[in-house]
Structure 1
Amino acid sequence: MEQHFEFLRKHPIFESFTDEEIEQALVEFDYKIQSYKNDDIIVSSGKIHKYSAFVLEGAAQIQKYNSDGVREILGRVYSDSIGWLITAAPRTTHCDIEIVSHGESTILFLDFAKIKENDYKKIIIQQKLLKNLFVLFEEMDLRSLEYKIVLSERSIRKKIMRYFEFREKRDGSSSFCIEGSRQDFADYLSVDKSALSRELNKMKKDGLIDFNGDNFTILQKL
């Protein structure tokens, strides 16, 4: 645990916690810290998972496969953003999504079922955890809403620009990097990779955007 303590101190789930409270929370909620390599499965589809999961280092990708076997990327969670929360509460039914490591990652697991235990010694820790979880839930809801808005656009160009619009607001800059491969970006937008590449090149030619590899800049609003 000591090697990860600096990451734990910075994690929003432990906002306003003392070091002693962090240690107590980890023990009380039966923590696990595990490392994964690229594409390793963190949470399997079709299984019941007991723990809530948080990214300490690296990134995790949330995805699912539709009835045709086509992968849909629902989002990514990075250690350097507020979206550290991957899964919310323990499930009593089977999970229909899959979470895999995007590159190398380190994941913290906590068993929040124990938050129901009525122990006065845990009240302060539970109150702080619930407050911090509420903030993370709000961020998750916002990202989920953004994703639905992106997919609601009918043309590839509008999907791209809507996503870029959200990225510009989130990053506070008209220039940003699209993480992952071009295929990952196509899967996220639920479009064909070749069609995405053609549209990006058209948008560059039209002076709407500029890009070099994975680095994009918005030049004009759609």
Structure 2
Amino acid sequence: MKKYLPILRTSPFFKGLTDNEILSILHCVNAATISRKRDSYIFRAGESTEVMGLVVLGCVLVIQEDLWGHRNILSKCHAGDFFGEPYAASPGAVLNVSVVADEDCEIILLNVQRLLVSCPTVCDHHQKLIRNLVGVLANKILILNDKITHVGKRTTRDKLLSYLSSVSIRQASLSFDIPFDRQQLADYLCIDRAAMSSEISKLQKEGLIKTNRNHFELTVCNDTDSGIKM
């Protein structure tokens, strides 16, 4: 596990912990490393889990799929990001999402239930980790709230602009990269890819955006308060 410390140090889950404390916690929660090839599943909807995953290499998609293969992307997790923590913290809860590798990846699985019982040594780092877990769960709620905001818009154009605006504000820049390719962006916003591509072309012709693959540049009017400091 020592080789993953550079990633683990940057994770909010291990905030405020020393390397030795991190390694101690990994032992406490029965940490185990798995590798998955691109497009393979880590979790499947309908299953239950006692572990949550921490991406240490590559990235994964948290998705919902129906019987006809329609995909709704809830989030994309990169190195240092967690997935499955709400289900792992709720014994017996059945997954209504799947987690699939977006590229070859390595995952550390952590048994959350071992955090939710009293530590026999009442160690400080155990308490820190519980507080950090609450922060991780709260952040996941905020991420899903953002998605609800975007997909709640009435038109494809409004959904696109809502999403691009939020990324721009979050990164404090009018020029930024998004974590999705075109199909993934359409799946995330719950819109048809062809309709989305058409709308992106219109927005470029109107001079509101410039884009190249997953890079976007936004243009705002001089009298518009974008809330973005350049």
Partner of 1:163: 163
Q: CA deviation at 1:57?
A: 2.4
Q: Check 1:38–1:14 CA distance in 2 against 1; reply closer, same or farther (3 A cut).
A: same
Question: 2:171, 2:119 → 1: CA distance?
Answer: 41
Unaligned runs of 5+ in 1: none
Secondary structure of 2:55's counterpart equals strand
Secondary structure of 2:220's counterpart equals coil
Partner of 1:202: 202
Q: CA deviation at 1:67?
A: 5.6
Question: 2:36, 2:157 → 1: CA distance?
Answer: 35
Greater shift, 172-181 or 191-200, is seen at: 172-181
Partner of 2:42: 42
Q: CA deviation at 1:37?
A: 2.2
Partner of 1:18: 18
Matches within 5 A, 1:116-195: 116-195=116-195
Partner of 1:87: 84
Question: 2:173, 2:39 → 1: CA distance?
Answer: 30
Normalised by the length of structure 1, the TM-score is: 0.91
Question: Is the Cα–Cα contact under 8 Å of residues 119 and 126 in structure 2 kept in the other structure?
Answer: no
Question: Is the Cα–Cα contact under 8 Å of residues 2 and 23 in structure 2 kept in the other structure?
Answer: no
Q: CA deviation at 1:128?
A: 0.7
Q: Check 1:108–1:122 CA distance in 2 against 1; reply closer, same or farther (3 A cut).
A: farther
Question: 1:19, 1:119 → 2: CA distance?
Answer: 19
Secondary structure of 2:115's counterpart equals helix
Unaligned runs of 5+ in 2: 225-230
Identity %: 26
Greater shift, 115-124 or 162-171, is seen at: 115-124
Question: Is the Cα–Cα contact under 8 Å of residues 209 and 220 in structure 1 kept in the other structure?
Answer: no
Q: CA deviation at 1:203?
A: 0.6
RMSD: 1.8
Q: CA deviation at 1:68?
A: 4.7
Question: Is the Cα–Cα contact under 8 Å of residues 150 and 159 in structure 1 kept in the other structure?
Answer: yes
Partner of 1:96: 96
Question: 2:2, 2:139 → 1: CA distance?
Answer: 28
Q: Check 1:56–1:181 CA distance in 2 against 1; reply closer, same or farther (3 A cut).
A: same
Secondary structure of 1:110's counterpart equals strand
Q: CA deviation at 1:189?
A: 1.0
The aligned amino acid for 2:83 is: I
Q: Check 1:36–1:68 CA distance in 2 against 1; reply closer, same or farther (3 A cut).
A: closer
Secondary structure of 2:82's counterpart equals coil
The aligned amino acid for 1:158 is: D
Partner of 1:4: 4
Q: CA deviation at 1:181?
A: 2.6
Question: 1:216, 1:35 → 2: CA distance?
Answer: 32
Secondary structure of 2:85's counterpart equals coil
Question: Is the Cα–Cα contact under 8 Å of residues 151 and 159 in structure 1 kept in the other structure?
Answer: yes
Q: Deviations over 1:161-187 (max 9, x none)?
A: 000111012222111223343111111
The aligned amino acid for 1:87 is: G
The aligned amino acid for 1:86 is: F
Question: 1:156, 1:101 → 2: CA distance?
Answer: 27
Question: 1:209, 1:36 → 2: CA distance?
Answer: 36
Query: Number of residue pairs matched?
Result: 219
